[in-house]
Amino acid sequence: DAEDVGLYTIKATSYDDENASTSDEVVIELISGGGSCPETVTDIDGNTYNTVLIGNQCWMKENLKVTHYPNGDPIPYVTDDNEWAALSNNNTDDAYCYYNNNIGSEYGALYSYAAAIADNWERDNTDGQGICPDGWHLPTDEEWKVLEGTVDTQYPVGDPEWDGVEYRGFDVGMHLKSKIGWNVGGNEDNHSGFNGLPGGYRNNEHFNGENIFGIWWSATENSTLSSWYRYLSYNKSNVYRNYIHLKSHGFAVRCVRN
């Protein structure tokens, strides 16, 4: 159960022939509780992603790279700088790209908000599926908070800490970041298995932040122009939450199981 997640101390005591005792302790951290989580999930293009159970949430441990919506329609592929800069901050200007237009990027694809929610939220995605595979969905702001509270060793799920903006938490970023790929000093332990990668983002026509930070969309809008997102930085041990980047920007997507 999610309530079982946390830090536990195991103490072992041994006794010699004269009944003198010697004790030793070890602290373990339980990240994943009960729940259902297949080892992999496959998107409509046939791409297969590894998954991880964190608390009671089943997450992809890789960034999405799908190029079609769940109904089979293609997502507009935009490589031209001027064309991307012309995108509006709304729920209809769909676009995806790869960092520096490198199709083979290990970071997956970067999506505008309209693409991430599949542009047809009311028509085909009343359950918030977005561009995620069937049975999965684009995580809400609240679901990101649950992930953070499950992983952090100081602030549990439901703590008001997670309702704040900018950097929050104690060591959640350390446990979400991948072991490799970050700038010097940025690689972390990835205890959660989330494997957050520093894939950067696309800001208007510019690519920014490879090896420095990774940014992921949430499904939850803050206004008609922006949505909540999460940001991991190479030099921070916590997680950034905000909405100041706009819907036309290109961020990574992680999916969570229904």
The verdict on residue 9 lying in a domain is no
Residue in 210, 250, 238 with CA at minimum distance from that of residue 89: 250
Tell me, what amino acid is at 160?
A: P
Q: Which residue has the tokens 């890789």?
A: 62
The verdict on residue 19 lying in a domain is no
The three-state secondary structure class of 42 is strand
Calculate Rg over the CA atoms of the chain: 20
Domain range holding 65? 40-257
Rounded-to-5 percentages of helix, strand, coil across the chain: 15, 35, 50
> What is the enclosing helix (H) or strand (E) of 147?
helix 141-151
Q: Provide the number of structural domains found in the chain.
A: 1
The verdict on residue 199 lying in a domain is yes
- pLDDT tens digits, 117-163: 997 545 555 578 999 999 999 999 999 999 999 999 999 999 999 99
The verdict on residue 18 lying in a domain is no
The verdict on residue 165 lying in a domain is yes
Q: How many helices (H) does the chain have, and how many strands (E)?
A: 5, 15
Q: What is the mean pLDDT of residues 8-12?
A: 64
Task: Inform me whether the pLDDT recorded for 14 exceeds 50.
Answer: yes
Angle at 206 between CA 200 and CA 208, to 5 degrees: 25
Residue in 30, 28, 59, 242 with CA at minimum distance from that of residue 143: 59
The verdict on residue 35 lying in a domain is no
Residue-level pLDDT at 84: 97
The pTM assigned to this predicted structure is: 0.84
Task: Inform me whether the pLDDT recorded for 33 exceeds 60.
Answer: no
Q: Side-chain half-sphere of 134: how many Cα atoms within 13 Å?
A: 7
Q: Which residue has the tokens 């208007």?
A: 204
In angstroms, the Cα distances linking 102 to 99, 107, 112, 254 are: 6, 10, 17, 19
The verdict on residue 12 lying in a domain is no
